Amino acid sequence: MNQSPRDPSLGKLLQALDLLAEVYEAGSFSRAAERLGIDQSAVSHRVRALEAALGFTLFERTTRRVTPTRAGTLLCQAAGRASADLAQALAAARELRSGGAIRLSVPSSLAMKWLVPRLADARRDGLDLSLEVREDLAALDQGQIDAAIRFGPGPYPGHHAQRLARCRLQPVASPAYLRHAGVSAEGASLIGLGRLADRRGEQDGTRFSWADYLVASGGGPIDGPAPMYFDRADLMLQAAIGGLGVALGRSLLIEDDIRLGLLVPVGPSAPSASDYWLVTRYESADTESMNRLMRWLERGIAHTLAAG
């Protein structure tokens, strides 16, 4: 594929990022020179040379102050953002290089139901994780975290995304609830049973909903009362453990509770439209720390799904 030739002015701008940002913030060549640790004449010379290369004026000069032109304002503000982004990326790179904790963003339900109980295992395996519980990728874009586990359809444009596991939907209930309802888990019909649902899953595009489960499992619509809604899947599952009804569970959120006898599957499972992904910035995707994290997650997930 043919690529457009690079504008030679970009290289000169990249070399002048700190200069433009400092002059713009300081409002004078002399104060910018002090901050940069160079002579004022060197600042003036570099600005004139840049303006000559670009073909337009960046600053209007007076005896007391330099004022950016409209074009200068655009480039100086962009220079400030670029310098800040580079500083943030450098700090993250140094942290990864030094073997510091991996800052991992995890949705709340996955953190509570799967990851937090396994943090001790991660530490024993030499993996130092610092968790940030949040539902979006904003912190990844801003460089505040190193990686994120996400439940969704993928593949998250603009980021490097690796599928950790395919997901299945599975209704679950407490044994006591089913005994009280007079049904067995194997032959239970959802008709007549109270349903519990995650409100977020019906609104965030992950298609984690009873309607999607019924379509994927080949079941028809269910007549009866509307589901009881919760704002988080882990709260919904805790309500199921407490005997409030049948919750719509999914992979990684239910296996531990099933193993402990707190929940039992009700009816068939069905494929989910969303899976679990490890999402990182492209520049850190192939670092040793990210590869170690990926291998540890894959092993832990495979063990959980096999045991379930």
Distance of CA 55 to the CA centre of its chain: 42
Q: What CATH number does the domain containing 89 carry?
A: 1.10.10.10
pLDDT interval class at 5 (50, 70, 90): low
pLDDT in tens, 152-171: 998 888 899 999 999 999 99
Q: Is the pTM of this model over 0.85?
A: no
124 inside domain: yes
- Decide if 173 contacts 295 (C-beta within 8 A): no
> Are residues 63 and 187 located together in one domain of the fold?
no
Number of domain units in the chain: 3
pLDDT in tens, 85-120: 787 667 656 655 555 689 999 999 999 999 999 999
Instruction: Tell me the average pLDDT across 229-255.
Output: 97
Distance of CA 167 to the CA centre of its chain: 18
Going by C-alpha positions, the residue among 191, 195, 185, 209 that lies closest to residue 239 is 195
Domain that holds residue 258: 168-271
Question: Positive or negative, the Cα torsion across 285, 301, 150, 169?
Answer: positive
